[in-house]
Amino acid sequence: MSETTMARAAISTPIVTLSDTEGRIDMPKMRRYRMDRLRRQIRAQGYGAGLFFDPINIRYATGRRGHPTFGLHIAGRSVFVPADGPVVMFDAASGERMVGPLEMIDEFRTNKPLSYFFGGDRTQEHAKWHAKEIGALMKKHARGNKRIALDRIDLYLLRALEVQGLDVKDGQETAERARSIKSVEEVQCMKFAIAAAEAGMGRMREVLKPGMTENELWSHLHQVNIAMGGEWIDARLLASGDRTNPWGQESSDRVISAGEIVSFDTDMVGPFGYCADISRTFLCPPGKPTPKQKDLYKTAYEQLEHNLHILKAGMSFHDYARKTWKMPKKLQPNRYMVAAHGIGMCDEYPSIYYPMDWERTGFDGIIEENMTICVESYVGPVGEREGVKLEHQVLVTKQGPIVLSTFPFEEEFLK
């Protein structure tokens, strides 16, 4: 049995469950770290408090888990985080009973829902109620500071907060900058999420056969994720054959044929709410890859490895962009949207763009120690039938990047 085969066999069997691992991670310590990071950003930006509705930001601040994808489109829960002072959770009456006590939440208040789904014609009234609650909390705990960070702008709430005399600022920047630097415990959580994702990838590799649909293959990643205590998947980025070029199509009922490549990107929120964002490309058996498929794969692998090894703490985003793999002109039209991006509880700040995109969309900053970064590669020339997607998930350290994703690459493509 080859080394790669043994690695696949190990990956294909679920190796963690939440009941096995929760005792190994100091969750209260992690929650304290995250709250401290958030408060530091609130203070650094000169705000008196932050008001967060995004379920990812709520979980980061408090550890409060519950219905995250529902919360992304229904504003049913929020948390008030002052620069200094008690943290107040607003939720449905059942929320406190469901979650139990969390040390980061000092007070629980039953809210009035802000979404039209729950509020109907009373939504504006509910927004005014919420704004009065926040106004009173700011008056009591913000020491005269009327600047408040809000991560999701509800029009009624925005207007009502302004009536309270508050100066509303962008809270997503506050949260994303806080989330960008990971603690040891967060990296441990991420490793468990990656283990779940790679178990699912191993299952996909084992069951891949001619005649199955893309959706059927993709479902195995979901099943393993849920069985291992994971949560949800951000996108269905799996494609086969001629749907791999250009990149970005979601899985479909297309039937996969022998000899076609299958490319995918996990985008998976796994155990503990942390994301595993890994891309690989397989060949549907039986048979061996064609010379053209091997050329695409080797080129994508070369791009990935180059962009991985130039990554260093302390370098600017722009410097990283300038040093990325020199992309041939024939590959530029279908290039991936970024060279690298942050990763945590989901895809996060920063996004680092290619040199040819810098003037239009690039922004600068510093790659910092203890950021976790995904390095991306996609090779799909215009006019070619197929394309190859590969991606590493890494931790930035003083000594260089540490690759967290361990799923093996395909030996047959690299010969």
Nearest one of 39, 89, 44, 92 to 63, comparing CA atoms: 89
Report pLDDT digits (tens) over 82-94: 999 999 999 987 7
3-state secondary structure of 235: coil
At 17, the pLDDT band (50, 70, 90 cuts) reads very low
- Burial status of residue 100 (CB atoms within 10 A of its CB: 0-12, 13-18, 19 or more): exposed
Amino acid at 14: P
CA 389 – CA 399 distance, rounded (Å): 27
Report pLDDT digits (tens) over 205-233: 999 999 999 999 999 999 999 999 999 99
Please list, in sequence order, all residues whose beta carbon lies within 8 angstroms of the beta carbon of residue 19, skipping any fewer than 6 positions away.
Answer: none
For residue 271, give both structure tokens: 């155990």
pTM flag (> 0.85): yes
Query: From the CB of residue 45, how many other CB atoms can be counted at a distance below 10 Å?
Result: 17
pLDDT above 60 (res 2):
no
350: preceding bond cis by omega (within 30 degrees): yes
- Angle, CA of 121, 123 and 125, to the nearest 5°: 100
* Residue % of the chain over a pLDDT of 70: 93
CA 137 – CA 81 distance, rounded (Å): 10
pLDDT above 60 (res 15):
no
Q: What is the pLDDT of residue 95?
A: 65
pLDDT above 70 (res 247):
yes
pLDDT above 80 (res 16):
no
Please list, in sequence order, all residues whose beta carbon lies within 8 angstroms of the beta carbon of residue 55, skipping any fewer than 6 positions away.
Answer: 66, 67, 68, 71, 72, 77
Q: What is the pLDDT of residue 22?
A: 57
Can you state the angle between helices 214-227 and 184-207, rounded to 10 degrees?
Answer: 140
Mean pLDDT (whole number) for 361-365: 97
Give all domains of the chain, ordered by start, each with its CATH number: 3-18+181-414 (3.90.230.10), 45-179 (3.40.350.10)
- Angle, CA of 113, 117 and 121, to the nearest 5°: 80
Phi, psi dihedral angles at 62 (to 5 degrees): -125, -20
CA 352 – CA 365 distance, rounded (Å): 9
Length of the chain measured in residues: 415
For the chain, the distance separating the N- and C-terminal CA atoms, rounded to the nearest angstrom, is: 18
- Angle, CA of 179, 82 and 91, to the nearest 5°: 85
Mean pLDDT (whole number) for 17-37: 80
Q: At 34, which helix (H) or strand (E)? A: helix 27-44
Report pLDDT digits (tens) over 134-184: 999 999 999 999 999 999 888 999 999 999 999 999 999 999 999 999 999
3-state secondary structure of 382: coil
Report pLDDT digits (tens) over 64-112: 887 888 878 888 899 999 999 999 999 987 766 666 668 999 999 998 9
Report pLDDT digits (tens) over 327-344: 999 999 999 999 999 999
Q: What is the pLDDT of residue 98?
A: 62
Q: What is the pLDDT of residue 230?
A: 95
CA 99 – CA 139 distance, rounded (Å): 29
More reliable by pLDDT, 387 or 98: 387
Please list, in sequence order, all residues whose beta carbon lies within 8 angstroms of the beta carbon of residue 396, skipping any fewer than 6 positions away.
Answer: 311, 312, 313, 367, 368, 369, 370, 371, 372, 373
Largest CA distance in the chain: 71
Q: What is the pLDDT of residue 92?
A: 83
